[in-house]
Amino acid sequence: MNDEEFLRLTTLYLEDAIDAGDLELLNRELANSPDCVRQFNDLRLLAGLINEHGRAVESGNAADLATNSPPESGRFDSSAGGSGANAESHLPSRRSTAIALAVLATAASLFLALNWPGTPHQRDETAPAIATLAYTSHARWGSEERVPGDQLGKGRLQLETGLARLDFRNGAAVTLQGPAEFEVLSADRTILTSGILTASIPESAVGFEVLTPAMDVVDLGTAFGVSVGGDGETDVCVFEGEVEVSLTDGKDTPQLVREGNAVRSRPEADSIDPVSYSTERYEDAWPVTSGVLQATGLMKFVSPGPEFAPGLYEDSEHILVFLERSHVRLNSDLEVNVTEPGQYIRVRRKDNHPVSAGQVIRSYLLQLNPIGEFTRVEADSARVIGQITFDRPILGLIGKTTLLTGTDELLGHPLGNYGEPRRGIEPSRPEDLPDSGRDIVTLSRDRRTLSLDLSASSAVDQIRVIVSESAVP
């Protein structure tokens, strides 16, 4: 609900002219927003003061209210121009009521402009931040300009276009896709009034809640997407794990929605109905939530879902990107093939350090698996170039078949079907010429970007990327 709508409903309530439908909307807003409750109570106090002293307006104009002191008695004074009947009944005339309401509307508008959450005037610099604006892409904001690194407390965000990712202090990651209206109520409670949202919730943030006009979504340790249309119709799609959904009025029994499933409901509906599982509308926001900030060239992020079968997924024109595992704590050192920036060269690296135990990591699988099979001579028919940038440093790369297979259980997707193809990449040797047809994989100096030039033949080109899950200062 935007500022103008809240003001309209509050004014109708104070005029005692609100109908049942608008009253329900106002009650819902007050139930979901402590800030609105504070503002509503302040406006009621303001209306009471105007009702008590507004009769003096009859002797002048609305501006007098700001300069003249109210009568000491707090009652209408007949000497100020009022009629005897009004003085005896202590009721304002229609004119004074109209002027009082005009003053109320003006004062309320000014009040909301100065005090609405998220505005620069009202931001409490001493309050601890709830989330950080971690990343934006082509973002345009409806009111205050925001930039990555901004610390966010309680308040509303209006994203007109683009993408914006919020990293909450409890570990939750939420990406908004504009146009979207979103409000942060607390570290684990939010409202999506309109737009698209994807979320990745670790164990530290289980119970994270997204309220919408049609239903409430409570995470149970998962990744999911929420889409709210202009009419309030809400879709919830579960990528991993499960969520609990219930109607906004709380009259139904909460129901579980497990990964690979989706549901839909509308405001004031009496049920939440299953719909076909589809991640199409989340294809722009989900990669950002999962830690892929940019993919250029012929890179293609595979949407999450129950049919995770990298080895059986054929595409001759794209290097596919699969998110496998996140928030994995290493109990022992992890052997990898590459740890240092630069080009992946096939040499014996006796001094290559493993990824040390105790670190929290996530893993991705990058793959080129052309349709059908090519001989080595025909390798150019399946040559694909791309570049991918992650939000955290890359700790290591795994490109050998034995290490890929050996780490499937720890780092592979729990429901993944990797098959038994010949896997891995064929990196260049020191003596190879530039046009040798070998796979070229280069890790940038800042460890965030991976450049790939892959030429798949009869084997499936796969490389596992190990990314740090630790927060970046």
- Over residues 208-230, mean pLDDT: 95
CA pair distance 280, 237, nearest whole angstrom: 11
Q: What integer pLDDT is reported at residue 381 of this predicted model?
A: 53
Using one digit for the tens of pLDDT, what is the confidence trace for 324-356? 998 899 999 999 999 999 988 765 555 568 999
Is 126 inside any structural domain?
no
Is 424 inside any structural domain?
yes
Name the average pLDDT for the chain. Answer: 79
Using 50, 70 and 90 to split pLDDT, how confident is the model at 373? low
Q: What is the CATH number of the domain that holds 185?
A: 2.60.120.1440
Of 40-44, 173-177, 373-377, minimum mean pLDDT range: 373-377
CA pair distance 135, 112, nearest whole angstrom: 29
Is 343 inside any structural domain?
yes
Q: State whether 10 and 32 are in the same domain.
A: yes
Residues of the chain with pLDDT > 70: what percent?
Answer: 72
Q: 284-295 burial, b if ≥16 CB within 10 A, otherwise e?
A: bbbbbbbbbbbb
Is 394 inside any structural domain?
yes
Secondary structure of residue 369 in the 3-state scheme: strand
Q: State whether 138 and 186 are in the same domain.
A: yes
Number of domains forming the structure of the chain:
3
Peptide bond into 179 cis (omega under 30): yes
Q: What integer pLDDT is reported at residue 109 of this predicted model?
A: 47
Using one digit for the tens of pLDDT, what is the confidence trace for 113-137? 434 433 443 444 456 799 999 999 9
At which of 282, 308, 338 does a domain end? 282
Q: What integer pLDDT is reported at residue 254 of this predicted model?
A: 93
Using 50, 70 and 90 to split pLDDT, how confident is the model at 222? confident
Q: How far is CA 383 from CA 110, 362, 368, 435, in A?
A: 61, 27, 9, 12
Place of tokens 């012929």: 298
Q: For the full predicted model, state whether its pTM sits above 0.75.
A: no
Q: State whether 278 and 305 are in the same domain.
A: no
Is residue 220 scored above 70 in pLDDT? Answer: yes
Q: What integer pLDDT is reported at residue 239 of this predicted model?
A: 93
CA pair distance 43, 10, nearest whole angstrom: 8
Place of tokens 């609100």: 18
At which of 282, 304, 338 does a domain end? 282
Q: State whether 148 and 17 are in the same domain.
A: no
Is 92 inside any structural domain?
yes
Using one digit for the tens of pLDDT, what is the confidence trace for 261-311? 999 999 989 999 999 999 999 999 999 999 999 999 899 998 877 777 787
Q: What integer pLDDT is reported at residue 293 of this predicted model?
A: 93
Peptide bond into 310 cis (omega under 30): no
Which structural domain, as residue segments, surrounds residue 233?
131-282
Using 50, 70 and 90 to split pLDDT, how confident is the model at 93? very low
For 321, the enclosing helix (H) or strand (E) is: strand 315-329
Give yes or no for a contact between 337 and 398, defined as CB atoms under 8 angstroms apart: yes
CA pair distance 390, 449, nearest whole angstrom: 6
Is 454 inside any structural domain?
yes
Nearest of 297, 465, 295 to residue 384 by alpha carbon: 297
Q: What integer pLDDT is reported at residue 297 of this predicted model?
A: 86
Q: What integer pLDDT is reported at residue 96 of this predicted model?
A: 46
Q: State whether 274 and 144 are in the same domain.
A: yes
Q: What is the dihedral of CA 80, 83, 84, 86, to 10 degrees?
A: -100
